[in-house]
Structure 1
Amino acid sequence: MKSLCVYCGSSIGASPVYAKAARSLAKELVENNIALVYGGGKVGLMGVIADEFLDLGGEVTGVIPKALLDKEVGHTGLTRQHIVKDMHERKAMMAELSDGFIALPGGIGTLEELFEALTWSQLGLHEKPVGLLNVDGFYDGLIGFIHQLVNQRFLKPEQASLLLHDSDASSLLARFKSYVPSYHPKWADQEKAKTLVP
C-alpha cells in the first residue's frame, strides 16, 4: 500500500476533534510510508491533513478541478498538484493514483466521493479498501443507515462489509493492510424480486 486517497471537508467542522483526527491520520500514514492523494485544497480539513503531511515530510498529491481552484483555494505547496477539467476527471485520477480510500468527516461532496468508491467496489470495478474514520461518532448515523439497507434487502451483508470503519486511525489502517477483496453479485434477492413484481 503506497498511497491512500482521503476524502474530507473543505470546511473545518464544528468541533476541533475533526482537525485533530486529520492530523492523527496524517501522522499514521507518514509513519507507514504511505503517500496522500486528496482533493488539492488548502482550506478546511483538506488543508489540515495536507499541511500536517507536508510538515511531517510526507508526499502529497492534490487533484483539483480548474473551476474549484479558487473556491477551495488550491494548495500551492504540495509535492504535486494536478489541475483537471471537471469532477469526473478528478475522481478518476484520485482513484487511479490510490491503493485505497478513507473518508474523514465532510459534507455532501465527501459522501458523494465515498459512495462512488464504494459502489465501484460493490460492482467489482476495483479491489481497494474503502473506509470511514468515524471521528467522535460522526458517521454513526451513516453506518446505521447501511444496516437499514441490509435489513430492507437492498444490500447484502457481504456488500455492507466492504465499508470498513473505525474511530482510530491506526486500527483502521491495520484493517486496510489486512483487507482481502471479495466480490458478491450486486442483487440482494434477484430471484425473489421477480416474484414480487406486480
Structure 2
Amino acid sequence: MTAIPILFEDGEALVIDKPAGLPLDRPRAGGRSLDDHLEDLRLGFQRSPAPVHRLDRDTSGCLLLARNPKALKRFAAAFEERLVEKRYLGVVAGLVAEDAGTIELALSKVSTQKDGWRMIPARKGKPAVTHWRVLDRQGGLTLVEFRPETGRTHQIRVHAASGLGTPLLGDPVYGSGKGGPGKGASRTLLHAAGLTVPRGDKPPIVATSPLPADFAALGFSDG
C-alpha cells in the first residue's frame, strides 16, 4: 500500500494525488521528492511509473504517471496536442470582479542573477491560454476554477497575477508570499482538481482530486 493516494489505476496508467510540498525532482539542497515513492508505486509491476507532465512543488492534486515507455510517449503526445482536459482550483489573494473569462497572455522565461528565473508576459513569448470562472468569494479571497488550454511553465500563476490582476494566495514569486495578516498560506494555493486523458478506442483516463484541507480552512468548498 502506497502512502500517496491513487485516484486512477489500470495496466498503463496511474493518477496519484500529489501532496503539496512534494517536488518531482530531487532538490539541490536534498530532501524527499517523488523519486522516493516510485518504487512503492510499482504496485507489483516490473517498472517504476514515470510522470507524464509536471506540477510545481507547491501544487497538489492529479499527476499522471505512465507504467511503460510506450504509454509515456502516447500520453505525452496527448498533452502536447492539447487533447488533455485539466481543471485546477486556485485561491487568489483578492476579490475578482468579473465572473468568468479567458486570459490570452504569451509567456517568456527570464533570468537574473538577483532574482533567479521566472515567467513573464511577453508579446514574442509562447502562446498561453487559460479559461477561468469564479466559484466563490470569501473574506476578501476568491476561489477560481482554471482550465488551461496550453501547458506553459507557471502558466496559471502568471495568468492569475497578470491576467486577473490578483496573484494566487501564498505565491512567493508572482505574489506577496504568505498573503498578509489573517490570510496566511503555507504554500501557493493551486490544486490540480481534475484530469481527463483521451486514449483513442480505450476509455479515457478520468481522475478527480478532493479539495485540500487548506482550501477548506479558508471557507471554500468545491461544488
Is TM-score (shorter-chain normalized) higher than 0.5?
A: no
TM-score (normalizing by structure 1):
0.27
More strand by share: 2
More helix by share: 1
